[in-house]
Amino acid sequence: MILVTGSGGFGHAGFIGQRLVENLKRKKLDVAEFKGDIRCSRTVRRNFIDRCDVVFHLAAQTSAPLSVKDPVYDFETNALGTLNILSCAKENKARVVFTSSAAVYGEPKFLPIDENHPLRPVSPYGLSKMTAERYCLLFQELYGLCVTVLRVANVFGPGGHGVVNKFLERVLRNKPLIVYGDGEQTRDYIYVDDVTEALVKAVKVTGVYNIGTGKKTSINQLIETMEEVTGREMKVQYKPEKPGDIKNSYFNVAKARDDLKFQPRFTVKNGIKKTLAWMEKEGI
């Protein structure tokens, strides 16, 4: 039995979890979706009744700004919630694949970022994900729990909540795109279906892996790609950059490529096409 947390919209990770469930079902695997609040240990134990062999743990609070406003809720969801999952996984001898974030790295000291980069988060969100990671690795060391940690780059796709999805929503509503700063800031954007494939592959290994494309894309390049896909010129409003925003970030993904045999299938352009088509179909 495979258990997936975060597939029902709990936090912004819900869209990844839902796509993962769909992926696993296409592979004819037996999947159960977690129902309830991972902060409640009794709820977590109730979800483990059917004795799971593998747990994909995606349920999370994923907003850095929200974590600044409410660090307690952020900690309880990401750190305490993960501890509850790990405790039950230990009792059931279940393998855990934990979805972490690029936020654990903080301001990059070098690029591209590899898995040995120092962990210096700059938000409560990054700190709570780092704490959850440490619990995962400690449970592996102390109790022999099989754990894989995936530090995922900027994910976009149907149902997503990141900058790509927000831009496309404004495009469909004929609203100008809002860019903070000069638009030259870069990120590693990866399509959601590539992330779910990485999650499936991660079951066969243990350790920490960066999951991204290994390519940097600026906000301005995103906008140019959207213009190519839609065939129209975007209206853009540039505003002062937000204090504390990281200027550049993208991953070194050699370890995932070598150990997981992971290779993203979707370019940013193809991912934008698929996301836009889904939005139009859903009437967003």
Is 180 annotated as catalytic? no
Please tell me the distance from the alpha carbon of residue 186 to that of residue 204, in angstroms, as a whole number: 32
Burial (Cβ within 10 Å: 0-12, 13-18, ≥19) of residue 15: buried
**E strand spans, 147-213:** 147-152, 154-156, 177-180, 186-187, 189-191, 207-211
Active-site annotation holder among 105, 125, 209, 250: 125
Please tell me the distance from the alpha carbon of residue 49 to that of residue 51, in angstroms, as a whole number: 5
Please tell me the distance from the alpha carbon of residue 61 to that of residue 159, in angstroms, as a whole number: 16
DSSP assigned state of 36:
S
Contact 59, 45 (CB under 8 A): no
Residues catalogued as catalytic = 125
